[in-house]
Amino acid sequence: MSAPSAFSLARRLRGGETVYTGWCNMGVPLVAEALARAGFSAVNLDQQHGLYDMATTAAGIAAVRVAGAAPIVRVPLGDFAVASRVLDLGAEAVIAPMINTPADARALVAATKYPPLGERSWGPQRAATLYGIDQDSYLREANGGTLTFAMIETRTALANLDAIAATPGIDALFIGPSDLSLALSDGALLDPHCAAVEAELDKVVAAANRAGKIPGLYCADAARAVATAKRGFRFLAVGSDLGFLRAGAAAELKVLKA
């Protein structure tokens, strides 16, 4: 599989496609590459709750890219300096946790978009090399071509949906359903499919659509992703590398023990 053209994820999403992304927690670039080669058009490397550090993230971004998919990174909570750095390393999108207010959204944009939208510092040599373009082209295209995903995970974020979505430089609203279930139940329930979360899904899609932004959701499995795509979500994370490994091992062991 050949490497995709520069900024392929942005073009696909803005062209109206629904994109399914693999999700990697294990910190193993070879596994991220395998998901890309399996057919996921985008693969996320999780620095927030996964085992990806900067060295494995740099290697993982390159591995996903050369395998034909768009590399994405979920950065640690509030670490917008890392958001800028992973874009320099070649990530096509940044997923930022707990974007609760317009101020949070503006801080994310400041780190990830060049002027006049933001204040991103210059240094994308690795990204331009991976994309196969010169630095002038990268500068010209980066603000539109690299994407910012603001995670919606709290009551405060829900109250500020329209303001977050309207922030120039925010490209997508991405629901973290597990944390949202904790927030909506005041810590009493961890259930990403609970009624309280379900009641908010269409509101987030509507807010994203009003602002011309992309609605996204983390899904435990493919069935959930297909079902919520029918409700208007266009960027859907599907399962995780560790989940796929466990499911595959369980299926084989079931045969062995039959």
Whether the upstream peptide bond of residue 71 has omega within 30° of 0, thus cis, is no
Report d(CA 122, CA 224) in Å as an integer.
39
- How far apart are the two ends of the chain, measured CA to CA in Å? 38
φ and ψ at 230, to 5 degrees? -70, -15
Neighbours of 176 (CB within 10 A): 25
177 bridge partner residues: none
Active site residue 193: no
Q: Choosing from 5, 17, 30, 49, which is the catalytic residue?
A: 49
DSSP calls for 41-82: SEEEEESSSSS--HHHHHHHHHHHHHTTSEEEEEPPTT-HHH
Q: What is the CA radius of gyration of the chain?
A: 18
Task: Check: CB of residue 147 under 8 Å from CB of residue 9.
Answer: yes
φ and ψ at 215, to 5 degrees? -85, 135
Which residues are part of the catalytic machinery?
49
